Structure 1
């Protein structure tokens, strides 16, 4: 029986805020390593390769991160398709991270008679891509969406996310996608598998009730909300009281989470 908890850690709002490190994040990871607690970073971001995510953690948060510690929604979506149909013909709407994940999973990336349409964030999205995706789906291709995020934080405000592009595809194709990223449990179930422990011994840690915490609950994990991103300390009580989503722990930051869990052992 594995007696050490494992951690599935969100990135933006938990480890860093865009290009700003979140205080205590690097020390939290150091403490996990010292204690021998397994962990994986799980992100809805489908545009970056794991190597790029690890480099961002190093350069922004000061964390010595490895690509094999990262699980993106792009990787999870490509593995989901491969697990159902190895070498599937797949039409991809996305950026470098998604195309790389599709190739790594052994999918055949094509625009000719695909069996799957795989869609993530695509900042070069166009009417012709929309038209092709809808045609393929209406011709019988299964539709897989990396993540449902409608908006992404960016410099100068929010920008449309993968979920906003999906809204157009869903409307025109009249098909609902299989959603991989949080709050779906699929990404987090793959993260639990990577940790090699039962879901009930894994903590999903994040700053977003609707995605991180709801996803963790759906995957059968324990959940910890940190007040370093979307939910701030002055909002927490009101937001949680008004929500049906209940985290197991609410902590001001990652270091408080570590101290509280260490005290229980």
Structure 2
């Protein structure tokens, strides 16, 4: 018979054991500070110094780099996930009390690491502890890795004089309706971006009408509302509009009495179609609808090809051909639709940005005219272009994927360029 005291000890140790490094929140934190290097998926780039490193245990790997340059990894306490990062957090109150003590070489104030001596505060704990930092601390970490431009540089990107820039910013502040992209504007993954809370507070205080718009067809408005709640923002689900909802509205306009669809996508898309009277059909549907999701398979795409070939109309919730992942990029709706288009010889009809239809739907919900409305986004090729198509003033924020060269290389322009949504808030607000 097993010793019950040993079983108790084992259970207690299991409870105390930190989550494995594969925890999703930890992965996201690594992605933010050590993203996959552009053009080299085998390497990660340190956003603190720009070095390129592979993930492993040698001195030339990410662990060795962290150890030598940034107070690094330390397995001396018997925990291979132990991490000591001199990130200079905004306040010590943001740091959890972990009970994990640094090794001797980190306790000494005369440490040979010049980099670690330059930080006033140092987080000491495990990767799991780091992943559990408060949203304020995480936002601070994110802010350090965001590109930031001076007022003069923003004027240059906007191709405006200082006076013209301020005049245009004032026009945006006086708008009645705001259509706002989410990822790259409001958050990165599970991290709230700087200035967002002030921006949302200002929208509510000034009684502005606003709608969060996303090309992602997978989540429901309730799920998006819950996500913002976890990040500390209280926004009701009626403030969210997805490409799934836009697709359902369009199909309802084509078949007011309902119809049948074969869906390659997630429950959020299926739910939106059910809501407007459409039912699922895998034999002879009126439409084949393809959306975002990780559940696409060869069998599903093959079925879609054959259904479209036999006469079903092909609908894409958005034209995005790829999207960012922790490992680089992954095929998205546009890529799957392209496969069906090529195999069937039929063209898809796309909803979502940058088509103007989705923005017109959103403006109708807000009840504002195009002159009273603006769109705020981080992508030139979707958010800004959709604003141009819909004749709604587009505001580009540099907190997401767009870089200065993206702005300069396009024939179309944003109305104004800001570092983030916090700069839309008037200084006196």
TM-score after normalising by structure 2: 0.57
- Map 1:94-109 → 2, pairs under 5 A: 94-109=265-280
Alignment deviations for residues 33-53 of structure 1 (CA, whole Å, 9 cap, x no partner) = 100110000100111111111
Q: Determine the C-alpha separation between the residues in 1 that align with 2:365 and 2:417.
A: 25
What SS does the aligned partner of 1:193 have? helix
Aligned residues of 1:18 and 1:154 also touching (Cα < 8 A)? no
* CA-based RMSD: 1.7
Of the three residues 221, 243, 248, the one matched with 2:410 is 243
In 2, Cα distance between equivalents of 1:59 and 1:155: 21
> Hey, what does 1:254 align to over in structure 2?
421
Q: For residue 171 of structure 1, give the secondary structure of its aligned residue in structure 2.
A: helix
Aligned counterpart for 2:234 among listed residues 56, 61, 64: 64
Pick one of 285, 304, 311 that aligns with 1:133.
304
Q: Is the 8 A contact 1:9 1:204 kept in 2?
A: yes
Deviation of 1:4 (Å): 4.7
Q: Which residue of 2 aligns with 1:187?
A: 358
Q: Give the Cα separation in 1 of the matches to 2:175 and 2:331.
A: 39
> Is residue 395–residue 418 contact of structure 2 (8 Å, CA) maintained in 1?
yes
Matched, 1:157 2:324: no
Q: CA deviation at 1:193?
A: 0.7
Mapped pair 1:168 → 2:339:
yes
* Partner Cα distance (1:13, 1:202) in 2: 20
Secondary structure in 2 matching 1:153: strand
Query: Which aligned segments of 4 or more residues in structure 1 are displaced greater than 6 angstroms?
Result: none
User: 1:64 offset after TM fit, Å?
Assistant: 0.9
- The answer (yes or no) to whether the contact 2:198–2:425 under 8 Å persists in 1 is no
The answer to whether the Cα contact below 8 Å between 1:8 and 1:202 also exists between their aligned partners in 2 is: yes
Deviation at residue 258 of structure 1 after TM alignment: 2.7
Q: CA deviation at 1:207?
A: 0.4
Question: Does the C-alpha gap of structure 1 residues 239 and 256 become closer, same or farther in structure 2, counting only changes over 3 Å?
Answer: same
Distance 2:304 2:335 in 1: 15
Tell me which moved more, 146-155 or 45-54. 146-155
- SS of the aligned residue for 2:425 comes to helix
Q: Residue 11 of structure 1: CA displacement?
A: 0.3
Matches within 5 A, 1:220-231: 220-231=391-402
Whether the 8 Å contact between 1:121 and 1:165 is mirrored in structure 2 is no
Give the corresponding residue for 2:389. Answer: 218
Q: Which residue of 1 aligns with 2:61?
A: none
Residue 29, structure 1, aligned to residue 29, structure 2: no
- Name which one, 1 or 2, has greater alpha-carbon Rg: 2
Q: How many Å apart are 1:7 and its aligned residue?
A: 0.4
Relative contact order higher in (CA < 8 Å, ≥ 6 apart): 1
Within the candidate set 372, 375, 379, 1:204 is matched to 375
Query: Which blocks of at least 5 consecutive residues in structure 1 are unaligned?
Result: none
Following the alignment from structure 2 to structure 1, what is the Cα–Cα distance between the partners of residues 235 and 178?
14
Q: Determine the structure 1 residue equivalent to 2:182.
A: 11
Q: Determine if contact 1:201/1:222 at 8 Å carries over to the other structure.
A: no
Q: 2:243 aligns with which of 69, 73, 78?
A: 73
Equivalent position SS for 1:187: helix
- Does the 8 Å contact 2:175/2:373 carry over to 1? no
Q: Is the 8 A contact 1:210 1:245 kept in 2?
A: no
Unaligned runs of 5+ in 2: 1-173
SS of the residue 1:259 aligns to: coil
For the 8 Å contact 2:175–2:374, the answer to whether it is kept is no
Deviations 1:214-260 (A, max 9, x none): 011111211100111112xxx42x33222112010111111212328
